[in-house]
Amino acid sequence: MREFELVPTFGHRLAAAMERYSPLCLGLDPHPSLLKAWGLDDSAAGLSAFAKTVVEAGAGRVGILKPQVALFERFGSAGFAVLEKVIAEAQAAGMLVINDAKRGDIGSTMQAYAEAWLADGSPLAGDALTVSPYLGFESLRPAINLAEQNHRGLFVLALTSNPEGASVQHLGDRDGQGSVAAAIVKAAEDENDYFMSSLIEPAKLGPIGLVVGATVAQQAQALGIDLARSRAALLAPGLGAQGATVADLRSGFGQAYPQVVPNSSRGILKAGPDRQSLIDAITAVTDQLKEQS
């Protein structure tokens, strides 16, 4: 049986952020079109100005920030330098940072990814990382172990809204016991149960979260998925620009709604570059979420 020090786990910290502010996860997605709309150059300098404004608007108003890593990575080392600064400044402002990098590999390569994004002292280490389990859930073990050891979290792709995802996620598993997505959710549930059984201080949410698209959450039951039992935080992209509403979240996730961390990116970011307009957009979404709580 594992024993843990009285240090807040990722689940503890995430639940506290959701309670203090709202469940909203503010997506930091510096798309070229948004940089242009904000009057910024499509360059590392433009990226830096964009990110600084978003972090300043979110500080003290939202508890969770999700940088889309690919949109920083496109600028090479200069983009990663901006990302490192974003992570440090957001955390200093009291926000949890979910790095949306969707890493997934095997063996020593997965270990290296884990060390880059989850190890203490790494300039890229946020509070959580998105990962892909489609080389097998256990291929994520180096990241799972390091996240748990360092009181960080993972968000495992489970049921995504892109049309191509269904061709894999909706398939029956090899034992005929349900969908591939259901098997991934069950693996996350088992990992959370094991981890949380050893905690001195109980937590509502485990370290292994799941990514479930806001616009496809209603498909979970048909695929044999019980999201409420997973004890996983449910990162739900799709609020706002992709068409999902706060009411859709409640109806789609059902009993699992208290676990939902809805992500809104373009729906809020389009209000920029004026900082007050961004603040107003954030406030409008958080007020809607509080009304549904």
- Which residue numbers are catalytic? 102
Please tell me the distance from the alpha carbon of residue 143 to that of residue 187, in angstroms, as a whole number: 14
CA distances from 148 to 4, 63, 145, 154 (A): 10, 21, 5, 9
What pairs with residue 65 in β-bridges?
A: 26, 97
Cis, peptide link before residue 163, omega less than 30° from 0: no
Rg over CA atoms, the chain: 18
